[in-house]
Every structure is written in structure tokens, then in C-alpha cells.
Structure 1
Amino acid sequence: MLRQPRGSRPRRPPALVVVVVALLTAAAFVPLGFVVYSSYQAGWDNIRALVFRARVGELLTNTGLLVLVTVPLCVALGVAVAWLVERTTVFGSRLWAPALAAPLAVPAFVNSYAWVTVFPSLHGLWAGVLITTLSYFPLVYLPVLAALRRLDAQVEESATALGCGRLTVFFRVVLPQLRLAILGGGLLVTLHLLSEYGAFSMIRFDTFTTAIFGQFKSTFNGMAGNMLAGVLVLCCLLVLLIEGGARGKSRYARIGSGTAQTATPLRLGTLQLPAQAVLAVVLGAALGVPLVVIGRWLASGGAAVWQSSTLVEALGQTLMYGAVGAVVTTVLAFPIAWIAVRYPGRFSKFVEGSNYVTSALPGIVVALALITVFIQTDWYQTVFVVFAAYLLMFIPRALVSVRAGLAQVPVDLEEAAQALGKSPAWAFLKVTLRLTAPAAASGMALVFIAIVTELTATLMLSPTGTSTLATQFWSLSGELDYAGAAPFALIMVAVSLPVTYILFRQSQKAAGV
């Protein structure tokens, strides 16, 4: 039997897929719709009174300074350690490379807990800069490391042959080619800074997220909290616009056939020990301090801290939330990825973009939106609403992986199966899904770890009596029971470490290594 002609492929996606994608897209606009509707309901007089006041100016100043200081530090640190690992003869580079991604396994609020233990007086802007830089620099390090491995050394050698020194070559040749990786990593760092709650609350540094949560927790002042959420959403959208404008349409690619030439590593010589010291200090501050402090509190608490029934309950509920949320989110990412890959066009771009924009909003805004929608229904404070929040916040993590996997599956295989008399559903399940499974599993793992360490939305939306590792850690550390909180922190880090290695391996694959 002849294969189905390519031209006979349906020009439109199946109706069921379109309906599912349309519902997901509509849900993605709930947080933005909540902000717009809240502003409309408040009226201009209330908006002016609640937004144009000294408190909002203080929060804007704190947030602006935090971003302006932390993002460049993360970029400088991420680029520097990636350069040392990839472009020099630093000893043990194969071990340093994955190890420097490991700080992502430590949630920022656990990092804050560790540093406050070491320095109890630590608070304010510079404390926030220290903790978030150590927590988020791997978000720049990973894409820059991958970009460095993709660069063709012939361009650098040509610049050297023209008389340019190493510093000139780096700043005029290499750094421009790292622009997209740096902008992408910087964007992720900025969005994390705007949405972080636990780390800043512990060091008493006020941001929009801590202020909104304070309003919600103390007085449930909907209008004031909603207006702060509106300002925070505008900040997020402004960041996305700035990043998009800075990225522009620039691309860096080789022209010609063959394999890119590998750069010759810079011999460190007498600088070997200083380079080792730099990497050791960075890793020690970002990963060593939290692990040592957790170990110290575990030793202080003794065996009793492991005998709490709450620990088993929190672990079980965390695994349940993580596993179910990861599966549901990844399954629902398939229709969006399917349309994006198989039926590219304006509709697919709109669908993808809406989900990415919504996921950039802080979890507290998503939680407030869902509270507003469901507070008058029987679904309020049920696991359904919690999973809805996880879906809105984390579906892009699954979407990126699933989309990449689908793009690598030749459509001819599906057409061949259908030409042999198989239904489209059979062809998808037996052919496409099997080939996409590794990418889907990777996306599922990323969503799982995001849910395991999620704090704000879980605190606000989970049913009464819910106890996850993150919320239980937060509760005990808030009561200054640092020894009791240590097991929860250790388990979160232990669960997160394998996923950081997955991220590292993905960056290797993206670089063709």
C-alpha cells in the first residue's frame, strides 16, 4: 500500500485538539483578566489612592535596586565560571561543570534559612542580593556554558590573527555571540526575583510579593492587595518587553559545511590555584553553606527530628502533588505542542505566547486570581484549584521539552502508519508518543521539582490541613524551630539534585555534546 501523500495531510488540527487548546488558552488569561477586572472594579480614585503612595514607591525602589544589582552579578558570575570550566585548563572541569549547576537544587528560601543561621542579623537589600545571586546564577551559567560549546573557534582565531588580544577577542567576538544566552538567563533571574517570597520574608526585605502576601494574610484587604498585584504584573510585562526588544531578531550562526572547530583551552599555569579557589568559593557559598547548616541543625535536633509523623505526611503529600501535577501538566502540554509543531501559524504562536506570558507572572498573582474565581464555589481550597495553579505556572516547563521532542519525530512516520490502515489516534500512541516519551519525561521531571519546591501558591490555595515539604519547612522555620525544619530542607534538596543534573545534561545535548 502506498504511503499517504504529504499533500493529503489535514490542513487543520482535529476539533478535539482545538477545543482543549482553546480552553487552556482561556485559562491562561485568568490571572491577567483578574488584574484588569480588579482595576476596573476599583475605579480611578481608588487606583490613584492605593498605587500612587509612598509604600508603593518604597516597594518599587526595593524591587528595582534588587533587579539592577542582582541580575548583573548573576550574569558576571555565570559567564565567569562558565568560561573557566569550558575555555580554560582548570583542573577537574568535568566535575566542576555539573557541580556548578547543583545550587539550583537549593530553593532560595532554604538558602535564606542557611545564611540567616550563620549571620542572624542578615537583612535588607544586600542580604537579598547575596542570597538570590547564589541561588540564581546557575540560570545564566547553564545557557552560557551550552553557548560556549557551540561557538566556532575559527572566528576567534581570525580575530587573534589580526592582532587582537585575548581580552579584546572575548569582549568583541565571544561576548556578542553569548548575547541570547545571557538575555535568556537574565530574564529568568529577573522573573524569579519578582516572584520570590520566602527568601525575602526571612531576611525582612520588603518586595511586592511579600507586601501582597502580608495584605492577604493579615487583613485580607482585597483592593489594596489587588492593586499591588497589578503593579507587579506591569513590572513583569515590562521586563518581558525589554528582554524582547534587547533580543531583537539577531541570530548567530555559521555559514558553510562541516563541524565547528573546538577552541583551544587557555592554559592557566600559575593561575590554576586562584581559579580553583574562585570555583570552590562560589560552590561553597551556594551549596556548601546550606548543606553544612542543614547538617548542623540535624545534629542539634538528633534522632527526634526524624521521628515526626508530620515528616512522613509532608513527604507523601508532596510526592502526590508533584507526581499528579507533573503528569497532568505534561499531558495537557501535548495538544499545545502538537499544534505548534504540526500546524505552525498565527494561532499556534498566540497559544504558545499566552502560556509563556502567564507563567511569567508571580505565583501570588495566580493564587489571588484563582481565589477570586473560586471563593464563592465549592471548589475553593480544594486540590483542584491547587493543580490549576500549578498548571498555569509550570506548563511552559513541560511545553518546551514536549515541543522539542515532537519536532524531532518525522511526520512521515505517522503518515506511514495511517497509510497502513491505522487510525490517527493509534499512530499517535504507538509511534509519536513512544518517540516523544524521553522528552516528555524530562519535562515531567522539571514540573515535578517546581511543584516540590513551590511555596506561595501552595500556602494560599491548599486545603486546610495540607502539609508539603515546602509549607512545613516554612511553618517550622517561621516558629524559629530550625532543627525541626532541617529534615524538610534536606529532603527537598535531595529530591531536587537529580533534576539539576537533568538540566545540565539537557544543556549538553543542546550544545551537541
Structure 2
Amino acid sequence: MLAVGVALIPLAYLATRAGEAGWDRMADELFTARTGELVVRSVALATVVTAACTALGVTLAFLVTRSDLPGRRLLGVLAALPLAVPSYVAAFAWVSTLQGDAGVGSFAGFWAAALVLTLVSYPYVYLPVAAALVGSDPAQEEVARSLGRGPWRTAVGVTLRQVRPAVAAGALLVALYVLSDFGAVSILRVDVFTRAIFTAISLGFDRTGALVLSTVLVALTALVLLAEQFSRRRAARYARLGGGAARPPGRVRLGRLRWPAVLGVAGVLGAALGVPAVSLLRWFGEGVSRPGSLGELADAAANSLGVALLGTGLTMMLALPVGLLSARAPGLLAMALDRLAYLSHALPGLVIGLSLVFFGINVAYPLYQSVWLLALAYAALFLPLAVAAVSAAVAQAPPGLEEVARSLGRRRAHVLRTVTVPLAAPGIGAGAALVFLTCMKELPATLLLRPTGMDTLATGLWTRTSVAAYAAAAPYAALLVLIAAVPTWWLSARTGVLTRTGG
């Protein structure tokens, strides 16, 4: 219940503030041309990026796992690494590179944001699709080939149909990510909901306007979540029957397309990883040579690690009972608690931050301006990631071992500690790694809730980028990406891409 309470804090905030403002005041803010423009622009950006990420992620996953692409194992690892690059770091890299040579204003706007968000978001599609392709049953493809279908018709008509649930889930995650993104759209000056909300609060002190925009944004992301639930129900139709074959699937021969495919993949990786790397190396030396810069960087790194670890620990602690109940005692109560925990998944970090500022001032003042309130924000934001990981890991642990322990007179708590959790530890660890990665990259809630005078790598980068201090910002960006790359590499290894794609 505590986990659900944390997830409900932002919704309680929105309901309370809406009641204070009244319908007439809300309507005056809602039915305006500017709100309509924000809706159109936000939806258009999410649609363009989601379509691009779907095409890019599926293509890369297929080439790495199911074709004879040269160097596919190395390319498979590199293709996952853009997940470690926060959107605002990628935007900073592109802006500092292009504007440094071509002048201010040369890289900004809708299509610049679409490019940057696509390059950092496609791993949300690539990783689940690659995992599904590695684990899918090749028997269905062999049947199709025996009926006279060629390799490409089999790939499109059979192989890709098997991974449609993974494609849909990844695409919807991209849509949620784009709707909630704040850093890239702010750096690239695209007026969407998150930027407008932050401006209303930080510059205009327009709380009612921010409330209206937050409510509309929540409605949009809730629609995306409804689509996610629909895709989950459809996923059951593609469930594999039986154990399947343990042998690796066959590979499609690319023929003349082999080296053009390599060049295409290299071009994507060059844009997603090469541009940030070149930009950071270009500015890094100048940034670390400033007096006092190394001390500031060390403090920010320590703060980032500290709050990310605190947020990860709190999130996993809250997720464990919900995930256990969902896996071991399915029913109406478990389903209700699981869905309530997912409510926070519909809320961008900016809305979570605003709600917890309100909560800290009016309800839990001792927590206000403390790292504990920031950790609570991370828990509210990323609880669904942790619940899903715990539930899936516990569901895969054999319940028979728990029953044997109970038959020997062990109490439930002892069985949980000594049997269930150790069996599910790898999956729970993967969930913790994902939560840690997202806590390290989170920006808007951290900007609003960090204690006064405290800088993290994300906020330090943001502060310096906002005044075009690219050299000063580069060390923060570089260290943030290096730290985030560790859990990203481990998560990509768990898909099987590193071990089952061959040379």
C-alpha cells in the first residue's frame, strides 16, 4: 500500500490544485490557441520519433540477430549504447558541434529535436526486439521455408510477426519518453508541453497555467498507456507453445546488401555515438582545465551516485511486495495494486517534481529540501520499471522450492529471504540496474527537488548548457555517459545479443 501511495501523490496534487482553481479558471487556460498548438506539436513529435525508432530499432535488431551482417556482435553491443546518452547530452553535443561552427541558431527546432530524440530512443525498440528474436522458436520459420517461402518472405511474414508484441511495447515506451522529455526540447527550443510547464513555473510563476498544461499532458500520456495495455493483451496471442527448439535460428544472407547494410548501421551509430563522442572530446580538455573544475565535477559525480543509489534502493524496496503479490498471488487485489503503481508511469518528471514540491511544503515539510524527497520522486517515476522486473523474475522462480521449504516448517518471511529472493536475484538485479540508469539521467524532477546548493551531473550540465558554456558542460556530460554506460552494457548483455549473435 505504501508503494501505491507514493504513486498516487502526483495525482492527488493535480486533483487538489484543480479544485482550488475551479472549472472556469481552468477552462480559460485550457481552451486557447496556444494549448491547441502544444497538443499538435507534442503529438506530432511523439508520432514522428516513434515511427522512426520503430523502423530503426526493428531493422537493427534483425540485422544483428538474424542476418550474416559482418561484425554483428560488436555492432549489436554498440547499437544498445545510445541508451546511456541522456537526451539533453545528445542535444548539447549536436548544438555545441554545429553551432560552434555555423553560428547560433543553426541547429534547433522540431526536426532537430526529432533527430536527437530518435537517436537516443531507438534502443527502447531495439533491445526488446533483439531479445525476442534471439529467444523465438525457429521451428515456425522452418515450416514456412518447407512450404516454399523464401528467406525474406519468411522474415517478414513469420519472424517479425512473432516479435510484434516486443515491437509494440518498445514503440509505446518511445512515445512515453518523447512526451515526457524536457532536456532535449528545451535545449533545442521546441515549444512542447514540458517546456511550457517549466517556463510557466520558473519564469512566469503561473501555477494555474502550469496545472492546466500538466493535466492535458497527463491525459495524453494516459492514452498512450491505454494503448500499452491493449498491446499486452494482444501479446498473449503470440505466445510460444511448448519449449521450442534449443538450436539457434537460421540467418538471412544479405548478398549484395551486405556492405551497404554495414555502412547504414555505421552511419546510425556515428550519428548516435560518434557526434556526442567527438563533441565531448572537443570541449573536455578546455573544461577540466578551468580552476576548481575537477573539485566541482567530483562533487557532482558523488551527488549523482548518491541520490541515484538512494532512489534505486527506495524504488526496489517499494516494488518488491507489489511484484511478489503480482507473481505469487494473482487476483483482483494484485491486479489493482499493480495498475495503481503504473499510474505514475503516465506522469512526466516535471509533473512529479511539481507535485512533490507541493507535498513537501504542505504535508511532509521535514522532507522538503532534502535528498529523501528527491529519492521519493525517483520512486514515483520509476516504480513501474522495478515492479515489472520483480514480477517477471519471481514468476520464473520455481514455486515448488518454496513449497518444500514451507513443508519443512519455515515461515513465509524466511522462505522469501532464503529461497524466493535468491532465485529471482538476477532479474531483480536487472530491474535495479535499469532504475539506477534512469535515476542517473533524470533531469526535470532533479532540477525542482534537489537541495539548495546541490549539483548533480545532470543539473550541472543543464546549468552550463543553458548559458552556452560548452567547455564547462563537457566534463559533466562525459562522466554522466561513462557511468550510465555500465548498466546499459549489462542490460544489453541480458538480451543475449552479446553471447548469441556470433562473430
Q: TM-score, normalised by structure 2?
A: 0.92
Report the Cα offset of residue 136 of structure 1. 0.4
Worse overlay, 132-141 or 340-349 = 340-349
Worse overlay, 371-380 or 476-485 = 371-380
Worse overlay, 416-425 or 330-339 = 416-425
Once superposed, what is the RMSD of the aligned Cα atoms?
2.3
- Match of 1:177, as an amino acid? Q
SS of the residue aligned with 1:89? Answer: coil
Question: Are 1:79 and 2:58 an aligned pair?
Answer: yes
Distance across 2 between alignment mates of 1:146 and 1:125: 32
Aligned residue for 1:388? 376
Distance across 1 between alignment mates of 2:443 and 2:397: 37
Worse overlay, 257-266 or 201-210 = 257-266
Query: Which among 216, 236, 241 is matched to residue 221 of structure 2?
Result: 236
Worse overlay, 452-461 or 404-413 = 404-413
Aligned residue for 1:288? 274
Distance across 1 between alignment mates of 2:47 and 2:291: 40
Give CA deviations for 1:98-117 in whole Å, capped at 9, x if unaligned.
11001111111000001112
Residues 249 and 496 (structure 1 numbering): CA distance in 2 closer, same or farther, change over 3 Å? same
Aligned residue for 2:466? 478
Query: Which among 263, 272, 277 is matched to residue 277 of structure 1?
Result: 263
Aligned residue for 2:103? none
Report the Cα offset of residue 307 of structure 1. 4.0
Residues 261 and 465 (structure 1 numbering): CA distance in 2 closer, same or farther, change over 3 Å? same
Give CA deviations for 1:113-164 in whole Å, capped at 9, x if unaligned.
0111222211111001100000001110111111222333343344344444
Distance across 2 between alignment mates of 1:74 and 1:284: 16
- Match of 2:323, as an amino acid? A
Aligned residue for 1:148? 133
Residues 258 and 266 (structure 1 numbering): CA distance in 2 closer, same or farther, change over 3 Å? closer
Distance across 1 between alignment mates of 2:497 and 2:250: 21
Is the CA contact (8 Å cut-off) linking 2:176 and 2:221 kept in structure 1?
yes
| Aligned residues with identical type, % of pairs | 39
Give CA deviations for 1:40-88 in whole Å, capped at 9, x if unaligned.
3322211221011011111111111101211111000111111111121
Aligned residue for 2:26? 47
Distance across 2 between alignment mates of 1:407 and 1:444: 17
Residues 244 and 90 (structure 1 numbering): CA distance in 2 closer, same or farther, change over 3 Å? same
Distance across 2 between alignment mates of 1:370 and 1:178: 39
Question: Are 1:179 and 2:164 an aligned pair?
Answer: yes
Report the Cα offset of residue 385 of structure 1. 1.5
* 1:44-443 pair list within 5 angstroms: 44-120=23-99, 121-250=106-235, 251-255=237-241, 258-259=244-245, 262-301=248-287, 303-304=289-290, 307-376=293-362, 377-443=365-431
Distance across 2 between alignment mates of 1:293 and 1:249: 43
Residues 93 and 512 (structure 1 numbering): CA distance in 2 closer, same or farther, change over 3 Å? closer
Structure 1 alignment gaps of length 5 or more: 1-21
Query: Which among 13, 23, 26 is matched to residue 34 of structure 1?
Result: 13
Worse overlay, 418-427 or 343-352 = 418-427
- Match of 1:209, as an amino acid? T
Distance across 2 between alignment mates of 1:335 and 1:256: 30
Report the Cα offset of residue 96 of structure 1. 1.2
Residues 79 and 306 (structure 1 numbering): CA distance in 2 closer, same or farther, change over 3 Å? farther
Is the CA contact (8 Å cut-off) linking 2:287 and 2:472 kept in structure 1?
yes
SS of the residue aligned with 2:496? Answer: helix
Aligned residue for 1:4? none
Query: What is the aligned length?
Result: 492
Is the CA contact (8 Å cut-off) linking 1:317 and 1:468 kept in structure 2?
yes
Worse overlay, 333-342 or 421-430 = 421-430
Report the Cα offset of residue 172 of structure 1. 2.9
Report the Cα offset of residue 293 of structure 1. 0.5
Distance across 2 between alignment mates of 1:386 and 1:327: 13
Report the Cα offset of residue 26 of structure 1. 2.4
Report the Cα offset of residue 288 of structure 1. 1.1
Is the CA contact (8 Å cut-off) linking 2:8 and 2:343 kept in structure 1?
no
Distance across 2 between alignment mates of 1:413 and 1:82: 36
Distance across 1 between alignment mates of 2:240 and 2:173: 27
Residues 248 and 464 (structure 1 numbering): CA distance in 2 closer, same or farther, change over 3 Å? same
- Match of 2:224, as an amino acid? V
Distance across 2 between alignment mates of 1:479 and 1:369: 28
- Match of 1:341, as an amino acid? A
Is the CA contact (8 Å cut-off) linking 1:402 and 1:443 kept in structure 2?
yes
Structure 2 alignment gaps of length 5 or more: 100-105
Distance across 1 between alignment mates of 2:445 and 2:166: 29
Q: TM-score, normalised by structure 1?
A: 0.90
Is the CA contact (8 Å cut-off) linking 2:131 and 2:496 kept in structure 1?
yes
Report the Cα offset of residue 452 of structure 1. 1.2
- Match of 1:348, as an amino acid? A
